[in-house]
Structure 1
Amino acid sequence: MRVISRRTGDGIEVFDADLESARVFPAPPGTRGWAVTSTRDGLVCATDDAVIRLGPDGRQRWRFDAGRPGPHRGAARLDAAFSADDTLVWVYAPHVLADRGDSDEWIVLDAATGTPRSRRPLPVTGHGGSHFPLRDGRMLLDVGEGQDGSRVFLAAADGDVHDYGWGDRVLIDVSPDQRGFMTVEHQEQRDVAFHDLAGGAARFRLGVADFGADPELAVIEWAGGYLDADTAVVVVYGEDGATGEPWWRHHRVAVHTGEVLGDLGIVTIDENDLRPLGDGTYVISDTDGTLRRM
């Protein structure tokens, strides 16, 4: 099961498989993002200028300084994630928009010490990134470039970085067998696609109309993901043509055939709340903040 965590007034709360609170880590000042080890006893936090590793006792084990943002910084945030085996920490550093360098970097750190294993430039000018660890040790990275689009990369800890070559796809999730992944069009959000991990070829695409919605009034949301090995959840978001009231639906899709299987029939607090876990279950939030695994 994927590790579930959230920011609270007390720090970073981590949940066990039954969604009971397992521990709360203190959040270092300036924390903007974080990742939890698969064992739930370690944390890395990303601030504006550093990545900080906390141990089970909540104390700092190491700090990696990315450099202070310059006086002409834009909207840019570091992103950090553990490798699938928790031995490495991968960091996306948007140096260009942070006004601290001429190129963005993808950095791999030793999770025990914070020592850099590799540092590689990326041909992007990103605002932020999202990591997707693979069990074979590689990492997928989605970099958001704002109105300029979104880029997807794949790499091992050492060696070349593979650029899938798109500028208009947002990576949403990786399949449970890790042979494929799901993307949504960046700019217009007109379609969702399911790809082979190797090479990125699209197995099929589905547009807004395939879900019974009007493309003039609805979009495919940057949300959802793999419910299990055979099924994904695609979120369609729109506004009522008469009242302007927002609505959203969670549609099930057969990932091997492209068949739309129907509405999941679940009510959520917003269009981004539902988190598929890949094992046939998903997590949603009640209005009081209580997490539910369904």
Structure 2
Amino acid sequence: MRVISRRTDAGIQVFDESLEPLRVFPLPEFAGSWSISSGRDSLVYATCDEVVRLGPDGGEQWRFEFDPPGPGGETNMSDATFSADDSLVWVYAPSLLSGRAETDEWIVLDAATGEPRSRLPIATAGQGGQQFPLGDGRMMLDVGEGQDGSRIFLASPGDNVHDYGWDDRVLIDVAPGRRQFMTVDHQGQEDMILHAFPGGETLFRLAVADFGEDPEIGVVEWTGGYLDDETAVVVVYGEEEDTGGPWWRHYRVDTRSGKVLGDLGIVTIDETDLEPLGDRTYLITDTDGTLRRM
């Protein structure tokens, strides 16, 4: 199961599987991303300038600093994520727009020391990225390029990067058993696709109308994911024509047939709150801020 954590005023709060609080790691306000080790005893965070690992007591264990930005470079946030076995820290660095390099970089660090193992160039002009660790040691990456779209990549440590060649798909989640992955249309949010892993071939495509919703007022949100290998959750969002008020619904999809199984029937505080954990359970947040595992 995925490690459960959330950002609070005190820092990053980490929970066990029963949602009992374990510890709180300090985190600077300017940190853009964080990742918790599978043992729940370490945290790495990334800013636009560096990656830092903290130990169980919250003390710094190592720091990896990027080169200074070039003249006029943008201060876009990097992303740092532990590999599934905690041996590596993968870092997406938006180096092109920051003026640090001629391409963005995917950097692999030794998790124990922070020393670089490899630096993989990727041909993007990213403003940010999100990484998805896989149980076999590989990592998937989604790079957001703003109005220019979203790019998806796959790599093993030290290997060449596989570019799926799309600029119009946002990576939402990877199935727990790594048989497939899920994307949503970037620009118009018109559909979701379940792809074969690792090749990316389309298995099933579902548009807004396939969920019984009006495509004139509804979109597929950039959220959701896999409840387990057999069931995905897709969120359709829209606004009421009369009042302009938002609505959203969580639809279950059979990943083996592409059939829509119906509304999950859960109420959440917003359209992005529900987080599938991959073991047939999911997290939601009560109105008082309490986490619930369902």
TM-score under structure 1 length normalisation: 0.98
Paired position in structure 1 for 2:283: 283
Bigger shift: residues 282-291 or 67-76: 67-76
Paired position in structure 1 for 2:20: 20
**Amino acid of the residue matched to residue 256 of structure 1?**
R
- Shift, 1:69, TM fit: 3.3
The answer to whether the Cα contact below 8 Å between 1:69 and 1:98 also exists between their aligned partners in 2 is yes
Paired position in structure 2 for 1:44: 44
**Amino acid of the residue matched to residue 50 of structure 1?**
E
The answer to whether the Cα contact below 8 Å between 1:48 and 1:68 also exists between their aligned partners in 2 is no
C-alpha distance 207-16 of structure 1, shift in aligned 2 (>3 A): same
Equivalents in 2 of 1:19, 1:73: separation in Å? 41
- Shift, 1:102, TM fit: 1.8
Per-residue displacement from partner, 1:249-273 (whole Å, max 9, x unpaired)? 0000001101000000000000000
The answer to whether the Cα contact below 8 Å between 1:176 and 1:226 also exists between their aligned partners in 2 is yes
Give secondary structure in 2 for the equivalent of 1:147: helix
Written as runs of structure 1 = structure 2, the 5 A alignment for 1:134-145 is 134-145=134-145
Give 4+ residue runs of structure 1 displaced > 3 Å after superposition. Answer: 68-71
Give secondary structure in 2 for the equivalent of 1:96: helix
Equivalents in 2 of 1:208, 1:16: separation in Å? 36
Per-residue displacement from partner, 1:38-97 (whole Å, max 9, x unpaired)? 010000011120000011111101000013334523362100100000000000000122
Per-residue displacement from partner, 1:148-203 (whole Å, max 9, x unpaired)? 00000000001211011111000000001112100000001000000011210010
Q: Structure 1 residue 196 and structure 2 residue 196: aligned?
A: yes
Equivalents in 2 of 1:68, 1:217: separation in Å? 45
Paired position in structure 2 for 1:230: 230
- Shift, 1:101, TM fit: 2.3
Written as runs of structure 1 = structure 2, the 5 A alignment for 1:30-69 is 30-69=30-69
The answer to whether the Cα contact below 8 Å between 1:178 and 1:197 also exists between their aligned partners in 2 is yes
Written as runs of structure 1 = structure 2, the 5 A alignment for 1:1-294 is 1-28=1-28, 30-74=30-74, 76-294=76-294
Structure 2: unaligned runs, 5 residues or longer: none
Identity %: 65
**Amino acid of the residue matched to residue 199 of structure 2?**
G
Equivalents in 1 of 2:241, 2:57: separation in Å? 53
Per-residue displacement from partner, 1:193-235 (whole Å, max 9, x unpaired)? 0001121001010000001111110100000000111110000
Equivalents in 1 of 2:29, 2:175: separation in Å? 35
**Amino acid of the residue matched to residue 269 of structure 1?**
I
Equivalents in 1 of 2:142, 2:218: separation in Å? 24
The answer to whether the Cα contact below 8 Å between 1:28 and 1:45 also exists between their aligned partners in 2 is no
The answer to whether the Cα contact below 8 Å between 1:153 and 1:164 also exists between their aligned partners in 2 is yes
The answer to whether the Cα contact below 8 Å between 2:253 and 2:260 also exists between their aligned partners in 1 is yes
Equivalents in 2 of 1:187, 1:79: separation in Å? 23
Equivalents in 1 of 2:220, 2:71: separation in Å? 37
Give secondary structure in 1 for the equivalent of 2:98: coil
**Amino acid of the residue matched to residue 86 of structure 1?**
D
How many residues in Structure 1 have an aligned counterpart in Structure 2? 294
**Amino acid of the residue matched to residue 120 of structure 2?**
R
Per-residue displacement from partner, 1:122-152 (whole Å, max 9, x unpaired)? 0000011111011111100010111100000
The answer to whether the Cα contact below 8 Å between 1:79 and 1:128 also exists between their aligned partners in 2 is yes
RMSD across aligned positions (CA) = 1.1
- Shift, 1:29, TM fit: 5.7
Structure 1: unaligned runs, 5 residues or longer: none
